[in-house]
Every structure is written in C-alpha cells, then in structure tokens.
C-alpha cells in the first residue's frame, strides 16, 4: 500500500469575508477531504500571544487555551492526543501539520483543508513546510468586503464613525490582498487565484476546474451549488448554513451577495472605500465608481487612518504588546 502524503494539503487564504469559508465548504464535498469546520488560527498570532514553543511556559500558556478552543473541540481528537502533539512539536507550523494529519487519519481521509484567512501572511512558511500543498487565494471586490467587515465590526480599529469603519475595513482588505499577492510569487504552480464573483455567478463552469487543479475526484457539482450535498459521514453540507452577517441569504452557492454592496453603500461611502484602497481595486480589475476628485482634508484623513492601522498592526506583531492584543484562538466557542 502506498503511504499517504499528508503534506498534499490545501490552504484557502484571502482577506476575511472574501469567500474562504465558502470555498472550504465546497472542497468538503470531496470524499477525499477531512471534515474540519473551524479555522486552525495557529500561524498568524499564536507565537506573538503565547511565545516560542521551544519554551515550556509558552507551551503551557498555549495548551491551556488550545484545549478550551473551538479549534480543538471541533477536531474530534482526544485531549491527550493534542497534549502529546504540543509536547512533541517545537513550532506552531509543526503543531498544525501534526494536528491536521491526525484529524484526517481519524476520519480515514487522505487530505485536509485549512481555511484560516490570515494564513495568507504566512505563505513563505507554508511553502517550505508543506512542499506538496496547494494554495487557493480567494479574491473579492474590496468594496463588498469592506461593507461586510464593517457590518461585523471587524475594522481593525474601533470607531463609531461609519465612513471611518469602512475605510479601516478597506485598508484591512488592501493590506491582506497585497501581502498575499507578494508572498505568492515564490509558490509557482502551487498557487491559484479564484474570484469570488466568478465563483458565485458561474459555479458550474468553475467548480470542475478547481477540482481538477487540486487533483480531487469530481463529485455532484449540482448538489454543491444548491446546498443539498450530503457528505459520506451523513452530515449535511455546511453550504446549507450561509456564513453571512445578513439575513436575506440563500443556501448553497448564490450570486445574491456579490453586488449587495451597490445597494447598501451610499456614493459617499463608496468614495471613502475607494480612497483607501482604490489602487489595489484597479490593479485587480475592479472598476472604481467615484469619479470626482478628493478634497485635501479627505486625503489627509485617509492618510491618518492608514498610518493608525499600520501602527496598530506593528505593535501587535512586532512588540511584546502582541501578547495582550491577540485573540486568535476561539476560546470557549463550540
């Protein structure tokens, strides 16, 4: 029997609200993919929060939260199994590899998917640690992402000003997207980009190409699209439960959310977003809508917000303050 290569895994990355969960749910329809309905959240922030796993006190702090987190609870693994993994490994990427391998083995599956969006900041690590991995970058119109992030309050900087919230969200999208595009250049054919808009508007054209690229056996794409696919373990497809902050959503793959921002955002709000991330929108082929020139005061305010968000991220990832500001693991969530 040929040994299974568990480095033949899949990472789905992108800014949050760009369709990473949707893509992971689609791939979960494959009989070869292990079911893991969580994001591992191990690579982008755990080192800053808990410290180097080569140190016993860091391992203890990490393990205390890990065993109370959604990440562990949804794995289906025994408590002692995870304690052994953390005791044995000396890096978070080592924990990720061992943990997801056992999740797949436990289900009798040959491959696994990690859909943590912020793994996009760690593509250099991923490329070295998982030589046979494939990376899917989900790209979505930054205006749609900004509207969704702001609605959820995931703006990066707390504010009650709606235009400020949208600009911080737009800057978050720009930072994540630009970083992934830069880091992906070393991955070659292991990396591909999927446009959210194309996926939801032409799923029957795109899904076979995605499965072929990942070397996954084809399945019933019609049932994936309408959200009625039932996995081999008799669990209903997670496509039935839309991952959305909006109530007016359909199950399965729907084009409905793709242009919602056009009706939800005012021209002033769209202009605020485009001022923050317009260069990245244009580079990715998303046509700007705001045609008027900006006032000096608007340009200065956008610059201040960009600087503020940048400083906050620097403090979070480059200083000891990261230990107190990171909340990557979903502790207590089921």
Compute the half-sphere exposure of residue 274: CA atoms within 13 Å on the CB side of its CA. 17
Q: Residue 273 is encoded by which pair of tokens?
A: 């977003």
Count of C-beta atoms within a 10 Å radius of residue 98: 18
Q: Show the beta-strand stretches assigned E in 17-133.
A: 113-114
* Amino acid 140: pLDDT: 98
Pairing assessment for the beta strands 113-114 and 10-13 based on DSSP bridges: parallel
Q: Residue 252 is encoded by which pair of tokens?
A: 């399965």
Q: Is residue 309 part of a domain?
A: yes
Q: Is residue 330 part of a domain?
A: no
Cα separation of 90 and 110, whole Å?
Answer: 25
Q: Is residue 334 part of a domain?
A: no
pTM, two decimal places: 0.89
Angle at 130 between CA 126 and CA 136, to 5 degrees: 60
Tell me phi and psi for residue 47, to 5 degrees. -65, -40
Q: Residue 70 is encoded by which pair of tokens?
A: 């959604």
CB 169, CB 154: distance < 8 Å: yes
2-6, 63-67, 227-231, 254-258: which has the minimum mean pLDDT? 2-6
CB 97, CB 114: distance < 8 Å: no
CB 164, CB 302: distance < 8 Å: no
Q: Is residue 289 part of a domain?
A: yes
Residue 324: pLDDT band (50, 70, 90) is low
Cα separation of 286 and 234, whole Å?
Answer: 40
Task: Rounding to the nearest 10 degrees, give the CA dihedral for residues 252, 253, 259, 260.
Answer: 10
Q: Is residue 308 part of a domain?
A: yes
CATH number at residue 267: 3.40.50.300
Residue 227: pLDDT band (50, 70, 90) is confident
What domain count does the chain have?
1
Report the DSSP beta bridge partners of residue 139.
195
* Amino acid 235: pLDDT: 46
The Cα-based distances of 147 to 67, 197, 218, 264 in angstroms read: 34, 15, 34, 8
Q: Is residue 203 part of a domain?
A: yes
28-42, 63-77, 124-138, 228-242: which has the minimum mean pLDDT? 228-242
Give the model confidence (pLDDT) of 158-207 as tens digits: 888 888 999 999 999 999 999 999 999 999 999 999 999 999 999 999 99
Compute the half-sphere exposure of residue 122: CA atoms within 13 Å on the CB side of its CA. 23
Q: Residue 116 is encoded by which pair of tokens?
A: 């943590």
Report the DSSP beta bridge partners of residue 194.
138
Q: Is residue 5 part of a domain?
A: no
* Amino acid 228: pLDDT: 76
Task: Rounding to the nearest 10 degrees, give the CA dihedral for residues 52, 104, 253, 235.
Answer: -120
Which residues are CB-neighbours of 195 under 8 A, at least 6 positions away? 139, 140
Residue 162: which of 57, 268, 261 has the closest Cα? Answer: 268
| C-alpha 162 chain-centroid distance | 24
Which residues are CB-neighbours of 226 under 8 A, at least 6 positions away? 251, 252
Rounded mean pLDDT of 58-74?
A: 94
Give the neighbor-by-neighbor strand order of the sheet with 191-195. Answer: 113-114, 10-13, 134-139, 191-195
Instruction: Give the range of the structural domain holding residue 17, as residue numbers without chain letter.
Output: 10-325
Q: Is residue 33 part of a domain?
A: yes
């Amino acid at each position: 029997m040929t040994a299974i290569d568990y480095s033949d895994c899949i990472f789905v990355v992108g800014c949050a609200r760009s369709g990473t969960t949707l893509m992971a749910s689609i791939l979960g329809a494959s009989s070869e993919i292990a079911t893991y309905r969580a994001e591992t959240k191990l690579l982008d922030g755990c080192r800053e929060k808990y410290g180097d796993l080569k140190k016993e006190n860091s391992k203890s702090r990490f393990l205390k939260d890990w065993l109370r987190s959604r990440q562990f609870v949804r794995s289906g693994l025994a408590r002692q199994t995870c304690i052994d993994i953390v005791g044995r490994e000396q890096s978070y990427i080592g924990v990720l590899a061992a943990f997801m391998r056992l999740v797949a083995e436990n289900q009798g599956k040959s491959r696994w998917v990690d859909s943590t969006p912020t793994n996009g900041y760690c593509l250099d690590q991923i490329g070295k640690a998982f030589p046979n991995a494939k990376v899917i970058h989900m790209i979505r119109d930054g205006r749609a992402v900004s509207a969704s992030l702001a609605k959820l309050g995931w703006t990066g900087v707390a504010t009650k000003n709606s235009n400020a919230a949208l600009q911080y969200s737009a800057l978050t999208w720009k930072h994540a997207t630009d970083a992934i595009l830069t880091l992906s250049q070393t991955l070659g054919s292991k990396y591909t980009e999927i446009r959210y808009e194309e996926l939801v508007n032409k799923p029957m054209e795109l899904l076979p190409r995605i499965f072929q690229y990942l070397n996954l056996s084809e399945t019933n794409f019609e049932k994936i699209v309408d959200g009625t696919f039932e996995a081999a373990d008799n669990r209903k497809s997670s496509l039935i439960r839309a991952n959305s902050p909006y109530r007016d959503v359909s199950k399965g793959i729907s084009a409905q959310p793709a242009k919602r921002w056009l009706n939800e955002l005012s021209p002033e709000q769209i202009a605020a977003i485009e001022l923050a991330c317009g260069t990245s929108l244009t580079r990715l082929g998303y046509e700007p809508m705001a045609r008027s020139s900006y006032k000096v005061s608007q340009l200065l305010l956008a610059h201040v917000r960009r600087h503020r968000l940048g400083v906050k991220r620097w403090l979070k990832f480059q200083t000891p303050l990261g230990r107190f500001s990171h909340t990557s693991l979903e502790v207590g969530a089921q």
